[in-house]
């Protein structure tokens, strides 16, 4: 069974709310973490950035917070931020899921964003299963010659036992409400049809979450390099979507999401958007 770990954080301003997830497959996690840890060690060597210091994107770019044993100017900070985004983009097998909502269109954009993200994760894992299992069955048929019945049964069992699942890791904040909506979605999850009608089922159809395991694991972001990287992704998208201030334009922050991350955005999450960003 493939398990995908989703590291989630948010960023927002007066107009927009962004929720971003970094998805890493269990078989790639060790290599990904080693790469992230090595990068943090290089930041310590090159800029004096404390290994145990939380990197919060907004404060980093704004020049606030004591992150180092030396003075780190705003230009250097902008390069640190840029390289953190490049780090995300080169993690083995990484995928990015992003939701960007206009606050004026939703009474509670944070919970709506979580709803949208969880549904995209569920649908993505379902599609992976639909694509992978027929391929495995075809391979099993091709290599079955010469196997006895017991061996064939074992082969089929192993090849067809592909049921991808997800674990959610998120920054602390509104844990009770997010846990509550996720538990509800495991039981009742009405989805409107993109074609206006689910046949005889009506305009909406309940498609409960089945592939996301357990409740989200909420962690203080200061204790998770991966959640800190998700914060950087969310902040870079927020700056892309917002009118840039002179300071943001000076360091090119508003261009970094596109230049660094477009290649690892999971575009199938929202095919109508060039970066797969969910916007409604």
Rounded CA separation 18/238 (Å): 6
Task: Classify residue 139: in a domain, yes or no.
Answer: no
Closest by CA to 266, choosing from 11, 57, 82, 24, is 24
- Burial tier of 58 (Cβ tally within 10 Å: 0-12, 13-18, 19+): middle
> For residues 21 and 121, what is the distance between their CA atoms, to the nearest angstrom?
10
Q: Sign of dihedral through CA atoms 248, 270, 105, 221?
A: negative
The total of other beta-carbon atoms located within 10 Å of residue 255's CB is: 16
Give the C-alpha separation, 31 to 196, whole Å. 44
In a domain, 82, yes or no: yes
Which residues of the chain are modeled with pLDDT < 70? 194-197, 199-201
The stretches of the chain forming alpha helices (DSSP H) are: 26-47, 57-62, 74-90, 109-142, 149-160, 175-187, 225-241, 246-251, 256
* pLDDT at site 92: 97
Q: Report which of 57, 27, 10 is spatially closest to residue 173, judged by C-alpha positions.
A: 10
**Distances from the Cα of 209 to the Cαs of 12, 126, 235, in angstroms?**
27, 10, 28
At residue 195, the pLDDT reads 64
pLDDT of residue 155: 75
The reported pTM is: 0.93
- Predicted local distance difference test score (pLDDT) of residue 196: 64
Domain containing 181 — which CATH number? Answer: 3.30.420
pLDDT of residue 153: 80
pLDDT, residue 166, reads: 98
Question: Do the beta carbons of residue 41 and residue 51 sit within 8 Å?
Answer: yes
Note down the domain range covering 229: 3-132+167-269
Residue 151 in any domain: the answer is no
Whole-number pLDDT of residue 10: 98
Tell me if 225 is assigned to some domain.
yes
Residue 145 lies in a domain: no
Number of domains in the chain: 1
Query: Is residue 188 within a helix (H) or strand (E), and if so which, with residue range?
Result: none
Q: Is residue 178 part of a domain?
A: yes
Residue 204 lies in a domain: yes
Tell me if 160 is assigned to some domain: no
Residue 102: enclosing H or E segment and its boundaries? strand 95-102
Residues 6+ apart with CB under 8 A from 263: 89
Tokens of 32: 């990904």
Q: What angle do CA 153, 25, 35 make, to 5 degrees?
A: 140
d(CA 117, CA 17): 13
């Amino acid at each position: 069974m493939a398990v995908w770990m989703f590291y989630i954080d948010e960023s927002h301003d007066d107009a927009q709310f962004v929720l971003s997830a970094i998805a890493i497959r269990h078989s790639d996690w060790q290599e990904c973490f080693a790469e992230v840890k090595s990068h943090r060690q290089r930041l310590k060597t090159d800029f004096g950035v404390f290994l145990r210091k939380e990197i919060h994107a907004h404060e980093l770019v704004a020049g606030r917070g004591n992150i180092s044993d030396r003075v780190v100017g705003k230009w250097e900070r902008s390069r640190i931020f840029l390289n953190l985004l490049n780090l995300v983009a080169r993690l083995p097998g990484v995928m990015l899921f992003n939701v960007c909502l206009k606050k004026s269109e939703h009474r509670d954009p944070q919970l709506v964003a979580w709803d949208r993200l969880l549904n995209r994760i569920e649908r993505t894992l379902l599609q992976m299963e639909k694509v992978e299992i027929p391929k495995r069955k075809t391979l099993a048929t091709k290599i079955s010659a010469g196997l006895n019945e017991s061996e064939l049964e074992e082969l089929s069992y192993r090849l067809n036992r592909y049921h991808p699942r997800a674990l959610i890791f998120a920054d602390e904040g509104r844990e009770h409400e997010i846990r509550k909506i996720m538990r509800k979605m495991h039981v009742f999850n009405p989805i409107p049809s993109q074609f206006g009608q689910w046949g005889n089922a009506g305009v909406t159809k309940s498609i409960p979450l089945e592939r996301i395991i357990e409740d989200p694991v909420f962690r203080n972001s200061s204790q998770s390099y991966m959640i800190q990287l998700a914060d950087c992704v969310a902040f870079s998208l927020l700056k892309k979507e917002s009118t840039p201030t002179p300071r943001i334009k000076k360091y090119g922050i508003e261009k970094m999401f596109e230049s660094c991350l477009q290649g690892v955005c999971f575009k199938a999450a929202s095919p109508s958007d060039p970066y797969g960003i969910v916007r409604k």
